[in-house]
A and B are shown apart, each in its own frame.
Chain A
Amino acid sequence: MLRLSPGYSTASLPATTGQTGIMTEDATNSANETVSAKAKPPDAASRETGPPAAATDSVLLRIEAVVKKFGALRAVDRLSLEIRGGEFFALLGPSGCGKTTLLRMLAGFETPDEGRILLDGTDIAQVLPHQRPINMMFQNYALFPHLDVRDNIAFGLKRARMPRAEIDTRVAEMVALARLEGLEKRKPDQLSGGQKQRVALARSLARRPRVLLLDEPLAALDKKLREGTQLELMELQRRLGMTFIIVTHDQEEAMTMADRIGVMNKGRLEQVATPRKLYEAPGSRWVAEFVGDVNLFEGQAGPGAGGRLAVSTKDAGTIVVTAPHDPATKSPVSVAVRPEKVKLSRGVPASGVVEAHPINRLEGVVTDVGYLGGFTTYKVKLDTGAVVRSSMANTTRLDIDAYRSTERVVAWFTPEDCVVLEQ
């Protein structure tokens, strides 16, 4: 049986010094203004931690053709993925897409039926959870109810047979990092949701895992707290230089936090890309529809003027689009346009724009107006009967630019704003 040293967290300890002082201070300062200066433990500065290994291009975790079956269901279906050291990676997908199963295989709670999981080149697919230098933060936090905050954080350190003095300093460090000062003696049921979340984070970070897995870590928090915690997590990840893999069904959360996102569907990865690429250049129609809102027009692609493509659609006539890098095939394609790329105007758009670009113009009637504060969404029923969605930022306080229901408008967008997707 392959056995990864259970003392991995202690082994690296004496190597470096002088890093934590900075880390702790900054983490405390940046985290929340409500924390007073006394929260900084004065002795925390005399500790050490691994240097923040800046995100490198080296592959830390390699998942090779992994299959996990539950009965007849292939929860994870020949999935391959490479995760780099120091990366903040998000697994995004609808519920039941296999993202949690994949995470549990990385943690060791499930063993893959096929394929390999390589950590630093060593196959850990069959290694038991307690022998992996990987820790997990559970969705419901899974704090030990019979232990107080301190003992919860120290739990993993005691198992690693760390000397008592080192445990004390490490716990103090984690308490400062997670801003839990004064709560050490509390039991989990005496903590608020946000505090529990921070205890769970501190506990999973205490052993300094090579990879931290986070299973829907913010799902139980309310919106305001969630947004604040997202930024804290990013800050923490950057500061520690640790590799984070987060599972979420919340695309905003994934977009905000992750360096790269893997979108999963039916046990497979649909696309792995940066948040911007995922949104602006979705790899498939499914991704375009899953991530954000999108207008889709189906039609036949043909050559257009100036090296562009002209797609003749039933719903919106001929749409001129910028040709994709991969030459589009003759088969029917979908033109995807994000709602915020679709502008509305009362008449013909400003002449300067018209002359500079061959823009796409669709005429119709506003049927639905949704005021959402920062922006307003419109539904425009085209003369062909199709509905186009548009989203416009409310850049002024007065509603001089607002369109009303039943108003006749022109919805327009440029060829650059279109993405051509194969059916």
Chain B
Amino acid sequence: MASAATKISRFNIVSLALGLAFLYLPIAVLVIYSFNGSRLVTVWGGWSLRWYAEFFNDRAMIDAAWMSFRVAASSATIATLLGTLAAVALSRGERFKGRTLFSGMLYAPLVMPEVITGLSLLLLFVAINAGRGFWTVTVAHTTLTLCFVAVVVQSRLGSLDRSLEEAAMDLGCDPVGAFVAVTLPRILPAIIAGWMLAFTLSLDDLVIASFTTGPGSETLPIRIYSEVRLGVKPEINAICTLVIGLIAVVIVVASLASKLSSAQTRSAAPL
């Protein structure tokens, strides 16, 4: 096994290159063309930062990006708070009736088609007569990302030794104090990873946002999508490159946090 792992055959190299090309070639093309000086998307006209400048002068696009950022930050924060509480309740609370059902229900949105989530939320907002805009998208994204946070945090909690909390209580902490003093520092990396995950999920969601948003509060994906329908402008490439960069940074930070958290207990954590 060890020798097979150290020796990379020609076949391995080819298949790896093919796989990576399949995944990243479109993105590479997009990134390269974002520096295209030409007005036409498909014709190379030399290196230029022209379309980045264009984007920063496009008021509507900047507004959409700012909207997306605010929605992502707020929904990720709310989802992290609620998701962590749910994870704690499910893994630390006394065994209550229907606990399995609850945790099943918590994870259902993970596999729920987004169209269904979006539609059901739209119906709900219409039914309660909520003005659609920033808050409805934020709530919708919280719904979407909460379960991801809960999964990440719960798996971390599950790998923690219960006796640490007991030791803290034994040494004078009340139950809440024991959680803050002992458990929270240990699950913090998972919480951070959960927040990052929620942030990225919210940032690139198109389906749910388009169901739940209202006039005048477009998110970036919605804006990009509507632009693209009128024809791909090179500016879109620049925006997408910026989004890819941002998401890459967030993902790297999240996986570092997760690695840190699993290094602490030497147990596998998600991500």
Contact = CB atoms under 8 A, between A and B. Distances in A.
A207 B174 contact: no
A144 B170 contact: no
Contact of A128 (B167, B168, B169, B185): B169
B171 A138 contact: no
Contacts of A128: 169, 174-175
Given A130-B173, A159-B171, A146 B185 contact: yes
Contacts of B173: 130, 159
A48 B120 CA distance: 69
B164 A129 contact: no
Contacts of A143: 167
A160 B169 CA distance: 12
A85 interface: no
Nearest to A135: B170
A142 B167 contact: yes
A109 interface: yes
Mostly helix, strand, loop or mixed at chain B's interface?
Answer: helix
Which interface residue of B172, B174, B186 has the most chain A CB atoms within 10 A? B172
Interface string A31-67: 0000000000000000000000000000000000000
Interface in B161-188: 161, 163-164, 166-175, 177-178, 181-182, 185-186
B170 A136 contact: yes
A216 to B, nearest CB: 12
B48 interface: no
A140 B161 contact: yes
B167 A138 contact: yes
Given A129-B166, A129-B169, A155-B168, A142 B161 contact: yes
Given A140-B161, A145-B186, A145-B264, A135 B171 contact: yes
Contact of A138 (B163, B185, B265): B163
Nearest to B163: A142
A203 interface: yes
Contacts of B181: 155
Contacts of B177: 130, 159
Contacts of B265: 145
A139 B182 CA distance: 18
B170 A129 contact: yes
A112 interface: no
B169 A130 contact: yes
Contacts of B175: 128
A148 to B, nearest CB: 13
Contacts of B178: 130
B119 to A, nearest CB: 44
Contacts of B170: 107-108, 129-130, 135-136, 156, 204
Contacts of B171: 130, 135, 155-156, 159, 203-204, 207
A6 interface: yes
A156 B181 CA distance: 12
Nearest to A6: B172
A261 B61 CA distance: 78
Contacts of B182: 144
Max chain B C-beta neighbours (<10 A), residue from A129, A136, A138 = A129
Interface in B6-26: none
B172 A138 contact: no
Interface in A1-26: 6
Interface in B36-70: none
Interface string A128-167: 1110000110111011111000000001100110000000
User: Which of B166, B167, B181 has the largest count of A CB atoms less than 10 A from its CB?
Assistant: B167
Contacts of A160: 172
Nearest to A153: B171
Nearest to A129: B169
Contacts of A107: 166, 170
A130 B165 CA distance: 11
A217 to B, nearest CB: 13
B186 A146 contact: yes
A108 B164 CA distance: 15
Given A109-B166, A140-B163, A145-B264, A130 B186 contact: no
27 contacts: A6-B172, A108-B169, A109-B169, A128-B174, A128-B175, A129-B166, A130-B172, A130-B178, A135-B171, A136-B170, A138-B163, A140-B161, A142-B163, A142-B167, A144-B167, A144-B182, A145-B164, A145-B186, A155-B171, A155-B181, A156-B171, A159-B173, A160-B172, A203-B167, A204-B171, A207-B171, A207-B172
* Top 7 A-B residue pairs of the complex, sorted by shortest distance between their CB atoms: A159-B172, A156-B171, A142-B167, A142-B163, A129-B169, A130-B172, A146-B185
Interface of B: 161, 163-164, 166-175, 177-178, 181-182, 185-186, 264-265
Interface of A: 6, 107-109, 128-130, 135-136, 138-140, 142-146, 155-156, 159-160, 203-204, 207
Given A130-B171, A156-B172, 12 more contacts: A6-B172, A129-B170, A136-B170, A138-B166, A138-B167, A140-B161, A142-B164, A144-B167, A146-B264, A159-B171, A203-B171, A204-B170
